[in-house]
Amino acid sequence: MTDQQFPFSAFEYLGYIVPGVVVLVGIFLNYGPLDSFAKLGEYLSSIKDASFAFYAALLLSAYVLGHIVSALGSFVFERQIVHRFLGYPSENLFRENAKPSRVFREYLRPYSLPFSREFRKIFVARFGSEYETLDQFLLCLHDVKERMPTTYNRLERFIRLYDFARNLAMGFILLAAELSARAIAQVDLNWFGSAALSVGLAFALFLRYLRFFRSYSDEVFRSFFILHFGHLTNRQTDPE
């Protein structure tokens, strides 16, 4: 079966399995009979040939958990944090002044005013002026998809990358909660330190998610601009 016939790539499966494994680690750490490598090894030795079924069940569990983590990541990071507080890149890129923020300055950085003006001219010449920012983005994306297939394939990689970073960030948030639960149960501050480290990793991955999210929209708009800039210039310079 070729890649064109197969609906999902290996990377997309890993985008669910890896975050699912992160959450599974926290589950095992809170499950007494299997909360260490030694206990896990003893259990696998006791079930012998059935260990293959155990590994298969773990893989399936990680995949299912990964979908749950993905849904949570989409709801928390995109629909709450991005939508409510930071704004989508399709809006931020065309603001005259960026929202004030030291931590998210790069994500909120808009285009230069000269580029925004030139882009607006090209967009209006192509589609008209009665569209909101999200509609503008979708129209540009459709144009790029239809006329620049190589660029569109590159854009799909951005989607996979920001999905993976977002899912893994949520996986580490859930792992931090699981590590905190073990710290409380055992009254052990070391586990709180591990939980804090997990939160730090989640935040770093969240910043990567924002970077890829912005890069995706930026690539769409710049590709649309390059696609039509020459046509508009030739139209303006042609003698009547």
Each residue's pLDDT tens digit, 80-96: 999 999 999 999 999 98
| pLDDT average, residue stretch 189-202 | 93
Distance of alpha carbon 13 from alpha carbon 24, whole angstroms: 16
Q: How far is CA 112 from CA 93, 119, 129, in A?
A: 9, 11, 20
pLDDT at residue 173, as a whole number: 97
Q: Which of 3-7, 15-19, 100-104, 201-205 has the lowest mean pLDDT?
A: 3-7
Write out the two tokens for 122.
């090209």
pLDDT at residue 5, as a whole number: 44
What global pTM score does this model have?
A: 0.85
Q: DSSP state, 99?
A: P
Domain ranges of the chain: 10-234
**Is pLDDT of 46 > 90?**
no
| pLDDT average, residue stretch 13-20 | 90
Distance of alpha carbon 128 from alpha carbon 132, whole angstroms: 11
